[in-house]
């Protein structure tokens, strides 16, 4: 396998991602489209751990929530320029995932999963307890989207849905391209190798735990960034976003889209947001329908649905698929 991705593939990929971002708002309300792109960043970041690192995290919502709270707090209390809350969300995600990751990656398998879950709930109860910062159960309210401006440009009001969508789409494009770049880098190859055969990787002189920790941090950083965007989306950061169920939803999103490349989670995000919206219009008890859907998918159509989307993702991802899986 050629370690360098050919330029043609890079262009094709960028064009495809741009097309996804451009076509989505034509098919649905811009708000829903923006939510899908935000969820897609979250899911792609999670896929770095689940699909590439083989690290089955059930605690990714912790970083999503922390990123959202950090950004949301700054936007609600101070009128800072637009890059500040985004960078705050990103850094919050990176730092918190470095700390939590340092504990979790020391263990493998089921203990790892249970620890990620426990840390997720630790953050949840912290958010619940420190309500003067997070708003507790009521959520962090009063978030104001900062105006978007660049030097020599008239600032754009992001409360305009179209401007906000373009803003989200640009960050989506940059984030997903960066994640693609990361998984194709030498680091990404080593990460996949730690999934396949950690002992072999260690015998080649790499530190497995360091590779996994860096993956945790990268994933946490993009997750925190997605959280920051989510806080802007509805001008509120709800505590549900940091609940463990949110971690479960993102695992489902990643899995239903397919884990073998970064297009899968994007498709998964579309399916998840659409399903959630669909079920919630049917019935107030929509998680029951959603849970039943999850159970039916994993029990009866697991091969079918995953295969279907894998093929679809294969069509979209072209030759990258072979390299990633």
Contact residues toward other proteins (CB under 8 A) are: 50, 56, 58, 103, 106-107, 109-111, 113-115, 117-119, 121-122, 124-126, 128-129, 244-245, 248, 251-252, 255, 285, 287-288, 290-295, 298-299, 302
Cβ–Cβ under 8 Å, residues 315 and 274: no
Q: How far is the CB of 146 from other proteins (least distance, A)?
A: 32
Q: How far is the CB of 5 from other proteins (least distance, A)?
A: 27
Q: How far is the CB of 22 from other proteins (least distance, A)?
A: 32
Which whole-number Å values give the CA distances from 87 to 135, 170, 213, 271, in the listed order?
Answer: 22, 15, 20, 29
The phi, psi pair for 152, rounded to 5°, reads: 80, 25
Residue 118 CA to residue 104 CA, distance in Å, equals 10
Q: How far is the CB of 109 from other proteins (least distance, A)?
A: 8
Residue 82 CA to residue 94 CA, distance in Å, equals 19
The phi, psi pair for 160, rounded to 5°, reads: -70, 120
Which whole-number Å values give the CA distances from 82 to 89, 227, 229, in the listed order?
Answer: 12, 15, 11
Between 73 and 244, whose beta carbon lies closer to other proteins?
A: 244
Q: How far is the CB of 28 from other proteins (least distance, A)?
A: 25
Residue in 195, 220, 273, 296 with CA at minimum distance from that of residue 66: 220
Task: Collapse the DSSP code of 99 into the 3-class scheme (helix H, G, I; strand E, B; otherwise coil) and give the result.
Answer: helix
Between 103 and 234, whose beta carbon lies closer to other proteins?
A: 103
Q: How far is the CB of 253 from other proteins (least distance, A)?
A: 11
Between 111 and 234, whose beta carbon lies closer to other proteins?
A: 111
Task: Collapse the DSSP code of 103 into the 3-class scheme (helix H, G, I; strand E, B; otherwise coil) and give the result.
Answer: helix
Between 78 and 283, whose beta carbon lies closer to other proteins?
A: 283
Between 69 and 172, whose beta carbon lies closer to other proteins?
A: 69
Cβ–Cβ under 8 Å, residues 43 and 251: no
Q: How far is the CB of 284 from other proteins (least distance, A)?
A: 10
Q: How far is the CB of 248 from other proteins (least distance, A)?
A: 4
Between 204 and 301, whose beta carbon lies closer to other proteins?
A: 301
Cβ–Cβ under 8 Å, residues 286 and 298: no
Between 26 and 299, whose beta carbon lies closer to other proteins?
A: 299
Between 28 and 118, whose beta carbon lies closer to other proteins?
A: 118
The phi, psi pair for 41, rounded to 5°, reads: -60, -45
Q: How far is the CB of 255 from other proteins (least distance, A)?
A: 6
Between 63 and 165, whose beta carbon lies closer to other proteins?
A: 63
CB neighbour class for 8 (10 Å; exposed up to 12, middle 13-18, buried from 19): exposed
3-state DSSP of 258-325: CCCCCHHHHHHHHHHHHHHHHHHHHCCCHHHHHHHHHHHHHHHCHHHHHHHHHHHHHHHHCCHHHHHC
């Amino acid at each position: 396998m050629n370690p360098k991705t050919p330029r043609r593939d890079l262009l094709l990929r960028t064009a495809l991602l741009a097309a996804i971002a451009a076509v989505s708002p034509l098919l649905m309300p811009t708000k829903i489209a923006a939510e899908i792109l935000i969820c897609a960043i979250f899911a792609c970041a999670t896929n770095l751990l689940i699909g590439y690192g083989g690290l089955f995290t059930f605690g990714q919502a912790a970083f999503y929530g922390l990123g959202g709270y950090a950004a949301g707090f700054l936007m609600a209390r101070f009128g800072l320029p637009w890059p500040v809350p985004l960078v705050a969300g990103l850094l919050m995600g990176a730092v918190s995932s470095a700390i939590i990751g340092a504990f979790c990656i020391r263990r493998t398998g089921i203990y790892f999963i249970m620890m990620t879950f426990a840390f997720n709930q630790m953050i949840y109860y912290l958010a619940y307890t420190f309500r003067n910062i997070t708003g507790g159960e009521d959520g962090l309210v009063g978030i104001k989207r900062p105006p978007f401006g660049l030097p020599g440009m008239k600032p754009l009001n992001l409360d305009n849905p179209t401007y906000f969508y373009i803003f989200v789409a640009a960050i989506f494009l940059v984030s997903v391209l960066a994640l693609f770049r990361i998984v194709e880098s030498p680091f990404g190859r080593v990460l996949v190798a730690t999934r396949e055969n950690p002992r072999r990787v260690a015998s080649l002189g790499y530190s497995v735990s360091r590779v996994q920790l860096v993956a945790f941090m990268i994933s946490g950083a993009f997750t925190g960034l997605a959280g920051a965007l989510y806080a802007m989306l509805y001008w509120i950061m709800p505590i549900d976003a940091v609940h463990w169920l949110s971690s479960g939803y993102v695992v489902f999103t990643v899995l239903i889209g397919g884990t073998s490349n970064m297009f899968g989670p994007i498709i998964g995000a579309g399916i998840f947001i659409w399903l959630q919206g669909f079920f919630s219009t049917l019935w107030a008890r929509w998680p029951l329908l959603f849970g039943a859907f999850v159970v039916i998918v994993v029990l009866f159509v697991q091969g079918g649905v995953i295969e279907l989307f894998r093929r679809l993702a294969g069509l979209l991802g072209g030759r990258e698929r072979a390299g990633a899986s």
